[in-house]
Amino acid sequence: MTVVLEVKNLQIAFGGVKAVDGLSFSVDAKEIIAVIGPNGAGKTSAFNCITGFYKPSSGAVLLYGQNITGKRPADIAAAGVSRTFQNLRLFPDLTVLDNVRAGMHLYGGQNWLDAILHTPRFKRSEAAYTEEAHHWLDFVGYSGARGVPIRNLSYGQQKHVEIARALARKSGLLLLDEPAAGLNYTEKRDLLDLCQRIRELGTAIVLIEHDMGLVMELSERIVVMNFGKEIADGTPAEVKANPAVIEAYLGKDDDEEVSARGDA
């Protein structure tokens, strides 16, 4: 198994607060890994460090063995990481298709002169962009209108488009930040199915998720964070049995509450 992503002792501090304090994990090809932890545990900060939006204060992020720590987000994306955001970050005034085309920017295939002169190369490339955009929308099971602005779409539809956009990047690693937030039961089942199909494409997935049912069913390994520290890393069964996790996150009193919220 090739190691896709390796995070080594990642740390970032905002002022005196250590948002991420010594996070280490690795992701193999086609693996699905969940990062869980209470709110404010530093999960999204860790994602932002991996994708270059924050510069980690120390530690290293290796992608296919190459050091990508502290590089520009665009360079990290080009190296093979794509992501979604916790609160949807689509382009609200642009059409659904254009949003998915954003993920295809690195395909190239035309330059500005082609565009001005409308060369055959340009027309071929535009047709390929459109076809590919439809393909990824079909892949995620998006069934709404595709030529309309994103702001006209429902929340669930927007989530689909955001995943389609990230998939169109065709990277070996996909980071999903709370993909199931705000979805109902059926939509969550669809998401589970979608993640399995993404894995079949050869893409490894790291997801942040609060829905324990989904996490336990989907992920091969779970990384648990609390107050920026990594407190556990193992299979779902191991994590469930880990006393530190139970104390910090799945504690006796919290157990009911967490599963109830997760299934809501």
Partner 1 sequence: MSENVDTTLAPRTTRPPASPISRLFESKQLGWIALAIALLIPLLIATPYSLNVMTTAAIFVLLASGLNIVVGYCGLLDLGYIAFMAVGAYTAGIIAKAFDLPLIFTIPAVIIMTVLAGLIIGAPTLRLRSDYLAIVTLGFGEITRITANNLSITGGPSGIFGIPGLLKIGDFDLQEPAVFYYVTVLVVAAFVLAAARLGKSRLGRAWRFVREDEDAAEAMGIHTYKVKLMAYIFGAVWGGFGGILFAAHLSAVSPQSFVFLQSALVLMAVVLGGMGNMRGVVIGALVISLLPELLRDLSTYRYLVFGLLLVVVMVFRPQGFWPARGYEPERMGDVSDRRLAKGTVR
Q: How many residues bind partner 1 (CB under 8 A)?
A: 57
Site string for partner 1, 37-56 (x = CB under 8 A): --------------x-x---
Q: Indicate the residue among 50 and 222 with the shorter CB distance to partner 1.
A: 50
Counting contacts by CB under 8 A, is residue 240 touching partner 1? no
Degrees (nearest 5) of the Cα angle 239, 244, 250?
65
Based on the shown chain and the rule CB under 8 A, indicate whether residue 165 belongs to the binding site for partner 1: yes
One residue of 38, 40, 73, 156 binding partner 1 per CB under 8 A: 73
E strand spans, the chain? 3-14, 17-28, 32-36, 58-63, 66-67, 81-83, 173-177, 204-208, 221-226, 229-234
Q: How far is the CB of 113 from partner 1 (least distance, A)?
A: 10
The number of angstroms, rounded, from the C-alpha of 21 to the middle of its chain's C-alpha atoms is 21
- Tell me how far apart the alpha carbons of residues 174 and 185 are, in angstroms, rounded to a whole number: 23
Our CA dihedral for 77, 83, 87, 90, rounded to 10 degrees, sits at 60
Single out the residue of 146, 210, 229, 240 in contact with partner 1 (rule: CB under 8 A): 146
User: Can you say whether residue 140 is alpha, beta or left, with left for phi > 0 and alpha for psi between -120 and 50 degrees?
Assistant: alpha
- Least distance from C-beta 259 to partner 1, angstroms? 31
**Contact of 12 with 20, CB cutoff 8 Å:** yes
- Of these, 2, 14, 17, 138, which contacts partner 1 (CB under 8 A)? 138
Residues of this chain that interact with partner 1 (CB under 8 A) are: 51, 53, 72-75, 77-78, 82-83, 85, 89-95, 97-98, 101-103, 105-106, 108-112, 114-116, 118, 122, 125-127, 129-131, 134-135, 138-139, 141, 145-152, 165, 169, 197
